[in-house]
Amino acid sequence: MEYRLCPSILSADFNRLGEQIQALERAGVKWLHIDVMDGDFVPSISFGMPVIKSIRKESRMFFDVHLMVSAPERYIQDFVECGADSVTVHAEACEDLERAIELIKDAGVKVGISIKPATPVNDISHLLEDVDMVLIMTVQPGFGGQKYLTECTEKIEELKEIIDREGLNVDIEVDGGINDETLETAMKAGANILVAGSYVFNGDLESNVHKIQNKMKEISERID
């Protein structure tokens, strides 16, 4: 299994965003997590297409765009045109989740679906053959800096069991409260894409990335 660190720019210093993205690339980061929040599906408002379009010009990283917005079907094509390499929509935000998946596929990028902590894995298990990734939120979506909800670990394990049983090639991404302790918890449960915000951006960015990647390598060697 391939494990990836996916830093979330929600925790970046936006006065130095371009500089920090370059530092991530120097440190060997391949994926960048981009949280788009609309103030409706979640309470907060983050950023949108102009920011993604701007940083796309200067970065070769894989842009993992997470739409925490109501009726995301309206914007899928726009975000792809701005530079998204994958688009993740929330099961709870879509009136027709199957249609949203089709729109992402038609746009030619990877398909992700996400569920909140209270949403059962069973709600999306019938769609696993149609997606590339499932994002399990391990905090309530909408704010950075929250603590990992331990009850979500069972959901990761449940999802991993279904994927393995069905022989599917689906990544499990987790987002929320990832730190030195919860990183191992999430990976042992079955997550292979780890979104991290303050864990990466607080302090020396490149040093943090190297430390986290080394820790992930050490954990993966023990659990694989």
User: Could you list the active site residues?
Assistant: 35, 175
Tokens 């909140």 sit at which residue? 116
Residues 71, 94: Cα–Cα separation, whole Å: 5
Q: Is 175 one of the annotated binding-site residues?
A: yes
> Edge-to-edge, what's the strand order for the sheet holding 110-115?
4-7, 193-196, 171-175, 133-137, 110-115, 86-90, 62-68, 31-37
Question: What does DSSP assign to residue 141?
Answer: T
Q: Is 83 one of the annotated binding-site residues?
A: no
In one-letter notation, the amino acid at residue 63 is F
Q: Is 145 one of the annotated binding-site residues?
A: yes
Q: Is 143 one of the annotated binding-site residues?
A: yes
Sign of the Cα pseudo-torsion (30, 196, 204, 3, in order) = negative
Q: Is 38 one of the annotated binding-site residues?
A: no
Q: Is 167 one of the annotated binding-site residues?
A: no
Residues 55, 146: Cα–Cα separation, whole Å: 26
Q: Is 112 one of the annotated binding-site residues?
A: no
Q: Is 108 one of the annotated binding-site residues?
A: no
Q: Is 144 one of the annotated binding-site residues?
A: yes
Q: Is 197 one of the annotated binding-site residues?
A: yes
DSSP 142-210: T-SSPPP-TTHHHHHHHHHHHHHHHT---EEEEESS-SHHHHHHHHHHT--EEEESHHHHSS-HHHHHH
Binding residues: 8, 33, 35, 66, 142-145, 175-177, 197-198
Binding residues for substrate: 8, 66, 142-145, 175-177, 197-198
Binding residues for a divalent metal cation: 33, 35, 66, 175
